[in-house]
């Protein structure tokens, strides 16, 4: 195959007429392989480099995307590649954080968690934001435990045991 001569614009790939034969060759390879081995790439497609052992296995998802891209370009269609953050509901966020849904709503209202309302009523949160907040909660808890335990470093263990025993007898 020759060096790609695709017209690249931000997130848009337009087919290059000079590459039509190369694209057709790739599409024919993918279709023939599927005809022989089935539609699933079951560990059989690789991206390889110039060196002999320079290769990595493509996932099924990447294989499907590659096939769609090649099919579109071979038909003279432009393609757009967009990234989109995964969004979750307040209930899903609550489950990830180990909190109640009303608590998550309060955190949103207080500005601690960001969310948006794509429709009329349901809030959506970016999964990445929720995971970052969960990590921040973990850091806060660890810091609190460390600071709290420092307050009790000078406590006599024998005195603590005596106080616990006295407390148990009282109950």
Residue 11 lies in a domain: yes
- Co-location of 101 and 118 in the same domain: yes
Question: Count of alpha carbons within 13 Å of 146, Cβ hemisphere only?
Answer: 6
pTM of the shown model = 0.46
pLDDT per residue over 92-135, tens digit each?
A: 999 999 999 999 999 999 999 999 887 777 889 999 899 999 99
DSSP one-letter code for 151: T
Residue 104 lies in a domain: yes
* Mean pLDDT of the chain, nearest integer: 80
Note down the domain range covering 131.
87-153
Residue 91 has pLDDT above 90, yes or no: yes
Contact 124, 116 (CB under 8 A): yes
pLDDT per residue over 81-90, tens digit each?
A: 767 778 899 9
Spell out where the chain has E strands. 7-9, 12-14, 46-48, 55-57, 79-80, 87-89, 124-126
| Number of folded domains that form the chain | 2
CATH of the domain at 147: 1.10.1660
Gap between the Cα atoms of 29 and 46, Å rounded: 13
The predicted pLDDT at position 111 comes to 92
């Amino acid at each position: 195959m020759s060096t790609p001569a695709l017209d690249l614009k931000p997130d848009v790939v337009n087919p290059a007429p000079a590459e039509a034969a190369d694209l057709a060759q790739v599409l024919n390879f993918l279709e023939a392989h599927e005809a022989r081995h089935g539609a699933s790439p079951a560990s059989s497609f690789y991206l390889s480099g110039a060196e002999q052992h320079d290769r990595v296995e493509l996932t099924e998802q990447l294989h499907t995307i590659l096939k769609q891209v090649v099919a579109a370009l071979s038909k003279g269609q432009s393609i757009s590649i967009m990234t989109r953050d995964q969004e979750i509901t307040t209930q899903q966020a609550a489950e990830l954080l180990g909190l109640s849904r009303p608590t998550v709503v309060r955190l949103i209202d207080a500005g601690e968690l960001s969310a948006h309302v794509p429709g009329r009523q349901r809030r959506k949160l970016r999964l990445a934001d929720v995971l970052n907040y969960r990590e921040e909660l973990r850091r806060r808890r660890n810091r609190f435990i460390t600071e709290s335990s420092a307050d009790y470093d000078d406590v006599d263990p024998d005195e603590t045991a005596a106080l616990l025993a006295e407390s148990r007898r009282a109950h």
